[in-house]
A and B are shown apart, each in its own frame.
Chain A
Amino acid sequence: LAKTTQPISMDSYEGQEVNITCSHNNIATNDYITWYQQFPSQGPRFIIQGYKTKVTNEVASLFIPADRKSSTLSLPRVSLSDTAVYYCLVGGDFNKFYFGSGTKLNVKP
């Protein structure tokens, strides 16, 4: 089960781009990388998932280098409502994801 390492917290200001990096040195060949967002007292919400290179959707981009030992979630032009905890997960076929403590992002006005 591949474990992940993320910064405990990050601060940003409204309108800035935020990049959160996650290390997963023991990632397996069939593991995908998935990011979730969680607000207090709510269930985690899926943001983005990728296997290699770059993935982009309407809310974020995910950058994965060739060795796949890390990944970076990029949030363009954050707003106050993006203040949340962000989890990086690595999992394969059976999806026994390991949720670490995540990164608490604090967006300031």
Chain B
Amino acid sequence: SQTIHQWPATLVQPVGSPLSLECTVEGTSNPNLYWYRQAAGRGLQLLFYSVGIGQISSEVPQNLSASRPQDRQFILSSKKLLLSDSGFYLCAWSNKTPGGGETQYFGPGTRLLVL
């Protein structure tokens, strides 16, 4: 069966510091990978998605970047964190399903607090 891991679970960082959040998926190959952010009491905002190694698409201009160095690894980074980067970051994966009906499966999330 497939599993998705995220770490760390929680993180407190000062403004201006760098960030690296990691997501890995097991039990599948060549998945689509996604990074979302969720503000308190709000829905999820898609930040980045990737259909393959080295292929990254950004949905919203951010102080963030993403990379996919391996098939089942997705990394979210920042060179200098802003207060507005605080939130709940979720990684998700899906199998490619031509014709629609693709389902995303989410990781446990990382709670980031920028002070």
Listed in ascending order, the chain A residues whose CB lies under 8 Å from chain B are 30-32, 34, 41-46, 49, 51, 87, 91-97, 99-102
Contact = CB atoms under 8 A, between A and B. Distances in A.
Interface in B93-110: 94, 98-109
A32 B100 contact: yes
A43 B109 contact: yes
A94 B100 CA distance: 7
Contact of A96 (B59, B98, B107): B59
B25 interface: no
A43 B41 CA distance: 13
B88 interface: yes
**In the A-B complex, the 9 residue pairs with the closest CB atoms:** A43-B106, A99-B44, A99-B43, A95-B102, A30-B100, A32-B101, A101-B43, A44-B106, A92-B100
Contact of A49 (B43, B49, B101, B108): B101
A32 B98 CA distance: 12
Nearest to B107: A43
Contact of A87 (B43, B46, B49, B99): B43
B67 interface: no
9 contacts: A41-B111, A43-B90, A43-B92, A51-B101, A87-B43, A87-B44, A93-B99, A94-B102, A95-B104
Contact of A93 (B36, B59, B102, B104): B102
Given A41-B109, A46-B103, 6 more contacts: A31-B100, A42-B108, A42-B109, A43-B90, A43-B109, A99-B45
A100 B102 contact: no
A43 B101 CA distance: 20
B45 to A, nearest CB: 8
A48 to B, nearest CB: 10
